[in-house]
Amino acid sequence: MSTHLEAVNARFDPRAQAYLSSSVHSAGPDLQCARELLSGLATRPALALDLGTGAGHLAYAMAEVAGTVIAFDASESMLEVVARTASERGLRHLKTQCGDVHSLPFADSSFDLVATRYSAHHWIDLEKAMAELRRVLRPGGHVLVIDLEGQEQALVDTHLQCIELLRDTSHVRNRSRTQWRALLQGIGVECMHEQHWPTRLQFDTWVQRMRTPETMVRAIRELMQGAPLEVREALRVEPDGSFTPSTGLWWGRRPA
């Protein structure tokens, strides 16, 4: 029986290249907004950290403004993709490091900017990881969080979490807007900007990206087809199984 971290690595190591080319991850209004927020900083971050970097799309954006960026992930294969892509793009100041977000191997107050995108829903103890995020962020430093959102309405959220878990057994939980605000407030981060976008997930590419077993794909389809009207409307479920949850972005600062 493997640990959750081992399960995450087993799921993502063979899929690293798919996440580099994924249109959901490589583009989108959230990534453009992140670039605008980063470019608007009065002082260039000397050292920045991207937690759960995946294929590195946020790290590449951070490298446009930061002196040094550390792309941090539990998956060695993901980091190999990031290192190769950074080299191809001439981003010599982008470094990679493997580890666990729940126990960061960095000194207190090391970073001017700590960010994460589409990763936190895999973290088994989000409160502990967020406490680590705060520990390594210097006073006055900035925080950027982007993730697919959970639903405030329990009926809809239960279906969303079940669909996510069937598609990817390393999934833990998408947090709602209310939960993210509380998490950031709990680590003493002042939220300065919050934004949300509909994120359409085309069914076939969504399950193919994770190589979801056919038995699970059938279960997802059955769950969607049998979902009550409130769920189908909230998630904008389409006849082919494609659906549209939302992505949230939170931009904040640790008081100096």
pLDDT tens digits, residue range 197-221?
999 999 999 999 999 999 999 999 9
Provide Rg for the chain, Cα atoms.
Answer: 18
Give one word for 188, left, alpha or beta, with left for phi > 0 and alpha for psi -120 to 50. Answer: left
3 state SS of 1: coil
Quickly state the pLDDT bin for 111 (edges 50, 70, 90): very high
Reported as a single tens digit per residue, the pLDDT across 223-251 is 999 999 999 999 999 999 999 999 999 99
Predicted TM-score (pTM) of this structure: 0.91
Under CATH, which number does the domain 4-150+172-200+246-253 receive? Answer: 3.40.50.150
pLDDT of residue 3: 72
Instruction: Indicate the residue type of 220.
Output: I
Residue ranges per structural domain of the chain: 4-150+172-200+246-253
pLDDT of residue 69: 98
pLDDT of residue 120: 98
Picking from 122, 149, 121, 168, the residue whose alpha carbon sits closest to that of residue 234 is 149
Quickly state the pLDDT bin for 48 (edges 50, 70, 90): very high
Provide mean pLDDT across the span 54-66: 96
pLDDT of residue 72: 98
Assess whether pLDDT exceeds 90 at residue 16. no
